[in-house]
Amino acid sequence: MENIVVIGSSSIDLVVKTDVLPQAGETVMGNSFFTTTGGKGANQAVAAARLSNKVYMIGAVGDDKNGKQIIENLEQNNVDTTFMDKIENETSGTAHITLFEDDNRIIVVPAANNHVTPEKVLPKLERFGAGDIILMQHEIPEHTIKEVTDYAVKHDMKVILNPAPYRNIDKEIIDKVTWITPNESESELLFENGVDEALKAYPRKLIVTKGAAGAMFYNDSQQLVKGYKKKVVDTTGAGDTFNGALAVALIENKPLEEAVDFANLAGSFSVTGLGAQGAMPYRKELD
Ligand code: RIB
């Protein structure tokens, strides 16, 4: 069976729930605080590994307590961590999250995630080959995305790029990846001629996620694969769950519409619990 290789960030999330957002220079009282494991790469790896075997993560942690917790959590979730680096004299990534009115605001400090460079990643890819799916996001250096994509094309591997958070990317990368999965606001920033035109320009490649409404792609005409509505506790990690589940469905060779439906369903479960990975579903729940 082919492998899913997530190349991306890992972090410890520091989460505050509040009913009031502070203005500049203001102090307000929050409701609660917790820490948990996160990072878009690690979240997507955990989401995929709860639904399938053979999920590997390539990334980096610092030589601190947080790094130990990140690795232990990946292993407890069935993610193979053979290719996770521990960077000496560096801290692990952190994400500082405010939960306010059913939505989140996030500041990421990449730290060790800045060490996920082509020099470190490309040699590890020799273990993988044709048919394997690489899943990447935008919390690691941009040149890593570019060089990994070139490597994947040369070696007949498939790439899902989840361009989150938004940053400008070369059109050449979009052309080379197999699938790209921005949300609506990332799509508007990425494609200057608008989302409808972009969907048409990249049929069966561009998949635009719309939260609970579902996801869109183009196949002769614009397709909306409807989402599933669930009671929202915390939306953090819903996009990551979508991407991890999409990778699983695609490696199982499900047709695109079915794969997107599977990913929508997984994403809908993830909003029902606190924390990015808290309510990511297991296979038996989805089946
Ligand atoms: O997508 C959600 C993730 O974004 C959080 O877990 C946080 O770590 C940030 O990277």
pLDDT digits (tens, 9 = 90+) for 23-75: 999 999 999 999 999 999 999 999 999 999 999 999 999 999 999 999 999 99
User: CB of 43 closer than 6 A to ligand 1?
Assistant: yes
User: Does residue 26 come out as left (phi exceeding 0), alpha (psi in the -120 to 50 range) or beta?
Assistant: beta
Query: Can you tell me the mean pLDDT for 161-188?
Result: 97
Q: What is the bridge-based pairing of β-strands 179-180 and 158-162?
A: parallel
Summarised one tens digit per residue, pLDDT across range 3-22 is 999 999 999 999 999 999 99
Q: What ligand 1 atom has the least distance to the C-alpha of 240?
A: 1
71 touches 42 (CB < 8 A): no
Question: Is 212 flagged in the annotation as binding?
Answer: yes
Whether 240 sits among the annotated catalytic residues: the reply is yes
Q: Which amino acid is at 26?
A: E
User: CB of 40 closer than 6 A to ligand 1?
Assistant: yes
User: CB of 234 closer than 6 A to ligand 1?
Assistant: no
- pLDDT of 1 over the 80 cut: no
Q: How confident is the model at residue 187 (pLDDT cuts 50, 70, 90)?
A: very high
Residue 227 alpha carbon to ligand 1 centre in Å: 21
* Test site for ligand 1: of 106, 107, 186, 277, most ligand atoms within 8 A of the Cβ: 106
Q: How far is CA 26 from the centre of its chain?
A: 33
Q: Is 183 helix (H, G, I), strand (E, B) or coil?
A: strand
- pLDDT of 287 over the 90 cut: no
Q: What's the angle, vertex CA 206, arms to CA 201 and CA 212, rounded to 5?
A: 130
Q: How confident is the model at residue 103 (pLDDT cuts 50, 70, 90)?
A: confident
In sequence order, the β-bridge partners of residue 96 are: 14, 107
Q: What ligand 1 atom has the least distance to the C-alpha of 164?
A: 1
Q: What is the mean pLDDT of the chain?
A: 97
In sequence order, the β-bridge partners of residue 236 are: none
User: CB of 169 closer than 6 A to ligand 1?
Assistant: no
Options 64, 132, 240, 261, the catalytic residue: 240
Query: Can you tell me the mean pLDDT for 129-155?
Result: 98
Distance of alpha carbon 267 from alpha carbon 279, whole angstroms:
9
Quote the pLDDT of residue 114: 98
Contacts for 63 with CB less than 8 Å, ≥ 6 apart = 86, 87, 88, 89, 90
108 touches 93 (CB < 8 A): yes
Q: Note the helical H segments in the chain.
A: 40-49, 65-76, 118-121, 142-154, 171-176, 184-190, 195-201, 238-251, 256-270, 283-286
Model pTM above 0.95: yes
Computed on alpha carbons and rounded to an integer, the radius of gyration of the chain in Å comes to 18
Share of the chain above pLDDT 90, in %: 98
Q: How confident is the model at residue 275 (pLDDT cuts 50, 70, 90)?
A: very high
Quote the pLDDT of residue 265: 98
User: CB of 137 closer than 6 A to ligand 1?
Assistant: no
